Amino acid sequence: MARQDPAESGQEVVDSTAVPVRPDYVRLDSWAGRLNGWTPHILSDLAAILAEAPSHGLPGQERLAEALLDPAIPFAQRAELAGLAALRFAGWLEYGLMEAETHGVRGLYASEAGYLVSRLQDGLDAGDLWPVFAERLPQVRDYDILRAEMLRVLALRPIWPEITPGGSLRVGDSGPRVDQLRARLTAEGLLLADWQTGAPYDTRLETAVRRYQGRVNLSPTGRLDQPTLRQLNVSPEQRIAQLRANLEQRRWRTRDLGDRHIWVNLADFRLEAWENGRLAREHEVMIGGQASSTPEFTEEMQYIVLNPWWGLPAGSARSRFQSMRRNPSIVDQYGFRIFNASGDAISVYEIDWSRWGNNWPYRMSQPPGPTNPMGEVKFIFPNRHNVYIHDTVERDRFIRTRRDFSAGCIRVQDPLALAEWVLNGQDGWSRARIDDVVAGSSPTVVWLDQRIPVHIAYWTVVGDVDGRVRYLHDLYRRDGRVIADYAALHDAFSGQGLPFPSGLARAGNTVRR
């Protein structure tokens, strides 16, 4: 059933960008009216800028772009419309369409609107809006890579290959589903299109399947198993929705990442150290399990600890205390220290087990040593989640594809190399000095001369430095709500124009849904 146009039904055409969802968001028309200096040339540029909205995963602005170029509409009305359109689109690029926490419509605060109006007016004065909008883009390194992938998937959508559901496939199998698998991997760029119809599942196809599984963080079996089939059969519409949500998530991040900063993408089990716009180091990481999932946030690293103590979290401590009750020798075996409510060290034999329960007054720590789960170093960026990055004694588990083993903190591979990068340029802290300290057993705190921002994200679509895009397994099942909520807002705004705020619109000129 076709949707009736509000203007034709006699209903008021509402500019949803001028009606704030939150009371502290401003009306755009009260700020857009301050822009002046519009010319036909700048209107043409703005129309071209708005036409790029789908590549950003933002609602299409085609009707607005057409209205800005329509000579039948008086220029004064088009200029008024341009101010609203430019401010709204600049706000979307700078801050996002959707609020990160509540998933409601993201409006603008007065300070944000004032800032954007100032930058847009600079562009109008210079006669060029392109640099102004380019500056609004997120500074994360893979934003443009995801935009290119969005255009690729949009173009591929009409011919997206699908694999018929069925059992697993492996080397030696043949039939139409093997051909479909080859077509799908060809579309992914993992196979050349020189294969023969009806050819059996061979080692070349097995290698391509392994490469695909590695991209999405599935076990690289080389077989078309059911998890791999589900990933390959994600529809183009689902991929587009996922890309849109991931582009939006980039817009939620701070624009000032820091000259030296650390990125952790939980969904990718990867840590990246960046310096002056270049990738300096990459490390594999382990993250929290399903019951203790690692949160997303940004904080500043303030210090590192070499040969750290381990203060056992409440959950881990309770299970250890239960083991000690059965076998008190564990205390000496692992070097645990037990403290009472006053902070005094006590023997395991002094514990009053009758107090076991919610008011348990004891806590436990473990000094540096070969069995300490913190390993040789931990990196501290104080935060309300009590999450940090640290070494581990379970280093053999880094060979796993899926690495959600921790109690919430981030375990990093080759932590001393990361410590060397963190302390680079800090007087007296060469790699040799670091190695000398960790060879001993004394805890050593090193405060950083310059704090380092640590950004922890959960992104299921990533663009690598070589331009390749990988779709990752949604380990924590966080993607569904973000994708669904963003899709609802995207659809609500798609194709939507803005009424002429002066009320001078006439039939045939109203830009509407």
Instruction: Compute the distance between CA of residue 25 and CA of residue 413 in angstroms, rounded to an integer.
Output: 44
79-133 residue pLDDT tens: 999 999 999 999 999 999 999 999 999 999 999 999 999 999 999 999 999 999 9
Q: What is the mean pLDDT of residues 32-61?
A: 96
If one compares 324 and 65, the residue with the highest pLDDT of the two is 65
pLDDT of residue 122: 98
Find the range with the poorest average confidence among 239-243, 269-273, 290-294, 505-509: 505-509
Q: Token pair 């960046």 is at which residue?
A: 274
Least confident interval from 100-104, 278-282, 296-300, 501-505: 501-505
Q: What's the Cα-to-Cα distance from 80 to each of 75, 123, 132, 273, 417, rounded to whole Å?
A: 9, 16, 19, 45, 56
Return the bridge partners of 286, or none: 411
CA 178, CA 264: separation in Å to the nearest integer?
37
% of the chain residues with pLDDT over 70: 91
Structure tokens at 429: 């802290």
pLDDT digit string, tens, across residues 424-441:
999 999 999 999 999 998
Is the backbone of residue 467 left (phi > 0), alpha (psi -120 to 50) or beta? left
Question: In the 8-state DSSP scheme, what is residue 137?
Answer: S
Q: How far apart are the C-alpha atoms of 34 and 269, rounded to whole Å?
A: 47
Give the span between the Cα atoms of 114 and 62, in whole angstroms: 26
Question: What does residue 419 show for φ and ψ, rounded to 5 degrees?
Answer: -60, -40
Contacts of 314 (CB under 8 A, 6+ apart): none
CB 23 within 8 A of CB 83: no
- Judge whether residue 506 has pLDDT over 50: no
Question: If pLDDT is split at 50, 70 and 90, which confidence band does 58 have?
Answer: very high
pTM above 0.85, yes or no: no
Query: How distant is the alpha carbon of residue 57 from its chain centre?
Result: 15
Domains of the chain, first to last: 1-140+475-513 (no CATH), 161-234 (1.10.101.10), 258-308+370-459 (2.40.440.10), 310-366 (no CATH)
What would the mean pLDDT of 12-16 be, rounded to a whole number?
37
**pLDDT computed for residue 316 by the predictor:** 65
Give the pLDDT mean for 263-280.
95
| Contact status, residue 375 vs residue 309, Cβ threshold 8 Å | no
